[in-house]
Chains A and B, each alone.
Chain A
Amino acid sequence: MLLRYITRRIAVSVVQLLGLVVAVFFLIRLMPADPVARLVGLNASKDAYAQAAHSLGLDQPLLTQFLRYFGLDGHGNGLLEGNLGVSWVTSASVLSEIGQTLPVTIQLLTLGFLVTLLIAVPIGIAAARRPGGALDRAVFIYGLFGGSQPEFWWGLMFIFVFFFQLAIAPSPLGLIDPMSTAPDPITGFILVDSLLRGQFDIFGDVLWHLALPVLTLVFILSGPIIKMVRQNMLRALESDFILYARAAGLREATVTGYAFRVALAPALTLVGILYGVMLGGAVLIETVFSLGGIGQYAVRAVLAFDYPAIQGVVLVITSISLGIYLLLDLVYAAIDPRVTRQ
């Protein structure tokens, strides 16, 4: 049963991903944009234009371009071999460019979600223990407010207060001090690499530069996550097994602990979903603080009509999201029999 469920879920994810790649490929080519003109400029001669179109492969029929992208045209070396192609603007491999920008976003999001959970879980539990109390009412308002805010503006406000007025935050221009150099990459994650190389000053510097971006992220994420923890905690606290635990005379702290274990799983699912959403959604925070993450790479690719880069970004972000959903479903299937029943 479980094995069949797992195989089915993986198969569905792969089909979804393929559908998405095909959809994106044709969608961007059906749009009325002219990437060749964007690349060579509007004043280029007809010859230069034709030459550029040829070198990008855009003079070929759509189907030929499609087969070539997937590596099905007999030459291989396409998507099926893991090759995302070459950026039309920088001529660098899209995969390597994503490999440089994706870790930045992942570090930002992971730190942001960790801090959010550290704050949101205790507050959510406390709010659920006294529904309708002062804290619960504050959480209700904040849940509505924080979940619907322009994070890029709040980022700027934090810069104004903490960098300009109080001068306790670094300038919002990247991950490390411009005077120091990043450690030689091992994993690509600058926080991990600086630790592995023993450069603790760089590690501290990066954390310092990440403080305001993480604060901005926590500000908008904690609203929905507190709300979620509170709801699940309430649901768990009102279930029969908690009633029984109370009747059996267990201490309140123990009862809360039991309820929390039940409430944790759905809350983690929301965290997983939000993480996937924020992979592409962190672009505004990255832009405000010039972090150079995958979102900013996407902006650059889109504005330059760099089709291979656009396809690569969408493919990578969606694969990670689908991977997270798959993992969540598998964890669920292992602990919750309702999931595999259908």
Chain B
Amino acid sequence: MSSAEIALAPEPTARRYRPRGRGLLVFATVVVVAILVLAVVGPSISPFDPTLADAEPFLPPPDLAAWPHLLWSGLTGKGEPVHWFGTDASGLDVFSRVISAPRTDLTIAVFANGLALLIGVPAGLLAGYFRNWGTETLMRVSDVLQSFPVFISAMILVALAGQATINIVVALAVLYSPIYVRLMRAEVMTQGERGMVEASRALGVSELAIALKHVLPNSLGPTLVQSSVTIGFAILLTAGLSFVGAGVRPPTPEWGLMISNGASGIMLGQWWPSVFPGIAISLTVFAFAALGDALERAYRS
């Protein structure tokens, strides 16, 4: 046992604070559903092309007082389309880019998490069920992977593989898979001691069949709960990579890239190109974290 394992041992359920109201869970669900919907329809409902610069740069958003009037004329079909969130340094519409970005960010995060599950779950099942030198080696490899500095490793993998979406997905999946190996292995080890495994063995069911039919379905819970948290962090990492120039390439609508483009304007008071995508990331990642926490609590009780 290392000091880290003692320090990070889970808290006994009874002592955890349980939020009484459902407010946080409702909020998280609403945000996550909204982001999922935007990932599907975002680019098609954008008032402007999110990658076409045809307006003046640095147009500020309209005054809040003018919003009701503008909304009304927009709904009744009169008047020009409005740059609700202003335009950025190249004249791209900030609002269209903010609502188109979930397709980039969420796709990367969801696929990276899915791939990490595809690597981590079978590996963890093997390592927890069959304990021999082969699976020991697997765990040591996973240890080494886990001791890489995450952000810098992600940067190295993405930059050297070429800054394409698929490479970001693979890089994040490789870096996040050890979490699933570990979670799955721990859960499988507790499941392996349960009566049904003994019973199946006594009935002469093959080890592989026991592992797949009984242990696997019963051990998936914690990894699925962790998925919500991982997707949130993957969005954060994707945005961070673009922020330093090692992620998706411009002019892809992506929140981190938008913040990076708006960063130089902030010192001159041009807040809108970076404030709106930042609020979007902040809410999204918080919602995924809150959802993960609620799922974990529901799973444990």
Taking Cβ atoms with an 8 Å cutoff, the residues of A that contact B are 16, 19-20, 23-24, 27-28, 31-33, 131-132, 136-137, 140-141, 144-145, 147-150, 152-154, 156-157, 159-160, 163-165, 171-172, 228, 231, 234-235, 238, 265-267, 269-270, 273, 277, 279-281, 283-284, 287-288, 295, 298-299, 302-303, 305, 310, 313-314, 317-318, 321-322, 325, 328-329, 331-332, 336, 338-339, 341-342
Contact = CB atoms under 8 A, between A and B. Distances in A.
Interface string B243-275: 111100000000010010011001111010011
B3 interface: yes
Contacts of A150: 236, 239-240, 256, 259, 278, 281-282, 285
A172 B290 CA distance: 32
Most chain B beta-carbon neighbours within 10 Å: one of A153, A265, A283, A332: A153
A269 B143 CA distance: 18
Q: Is chain B's interface secondary structure helix, strand, loop, or mixed overall?
A: helix
Contacts of A20: 144, 147-148
A314 B148 contact: yes
A280 B155 CA distance: 11
8 contacts: A33-B161, A136-B17, A148-B232, A149-B286, A160-B275, A279-B149, A281-B150, A299-B246
Contacts of B6: 266, 269, 332, 336, 338-339
A288 B271 CA distance: 15
B183 to A, nearest CB: 18
Nearest to B260: A152
A277 B243 contact: no
Contacts of B266: 156, 159-160, 164
A302 B268 CA distance: 30
B290 A269 contact: no
B1 interface: yes
Interface stretch (B7-15, B115-123, B207-215): B7-15
B264 to A, nearest CB: 10
Given A33-B161, A280-B151, 10 more contacts: A19-B144, A23-B144, A32-B162, A144-B289, A269-B3, A287-B243, A303-B245, A318-B148, A328-B4, A332-B3
B68 interface: no
A342 B3 contact: no
A302 B246 CA distance: 8
A136 B147 CA distance: 33
B49 interface: no
Contacts of A280: 149-152
Interface in B147-168: 147-153, 155-157, 159-162
A19 B139 CA distance: 14
A255 B290 CA distance: 34
Interface in B65-120: none
Contacts of A228: 7
B289 A148 contact: yes
Contact of B156 (A28, A295, A325): A28
Contact of A234 (B15, B144, B232, B282): B15
Contacts of B7: 228, 265-267, 269-270, 273
A299 B155 contact: yes
Question: Most A CB atoms within 10 A — which of B153, B232, B288?
Answer: B153
Given A152-B240, A235-B15, A302-B156, A321 B147 contact: yes
Nearest to A31: B160
A163 B149 CA distance: 32
Interface size class of B (residues with CB under 8 A): 35 or more
B2 interface: yes
Given A159-B267, A235-B15, A284-B243, A303 B159 contact: yes
A157 B278 contact: yes
Contacts of A159: 266-267
A332 B12 CA distance: 22
B286 A329 contact: no
B233 interface: yes
B24 interface: yes
Contact of A163 (B150, B157, B267, B289): B267
B134 interface: no
Contacts of A265: 7
Contacts of A153: 259, 274, 278, 281-282
The 5 closest A-B pairs by CB, nearest first: A280-B149, A153-B278, A31-B160, A269-B7, A266-B7
A152 B15 CA distance: 34
A126 to B, nearest CB: 14
A165 B262 CA distance: 17
Contacts of A172: 267
B91 to A, nearest CB: 21
A31 B151 contact: no
Contacts of A322: 147
Interface string B1-33: 111101110011001010100001000000000
A137 B160 contact: no
A44 B43 CA distance: 41
A309 B51 CA distance: 35
Contacts of A231: 11, 15
Given A145-B286, A149-B286, A318-B149, A156 B274 contact: yes
B150 A147 contact: no
Contacts of A149: 282, 285-286
B159 A328 contact: no
Name which of A136, A165, A280, A341 has the most chain B CB atoms within 10 A of its CB: A280
B2 A339 contact: yes
Given A153-B259, A302-B159, A281 B149 contact: yes
Contacts of A163: 267
A84 B301 CA distance: 52
Interface string B226-245: 00000011001001100111
Interface string B172-186: 000000000000000
Nearest to B158: A302
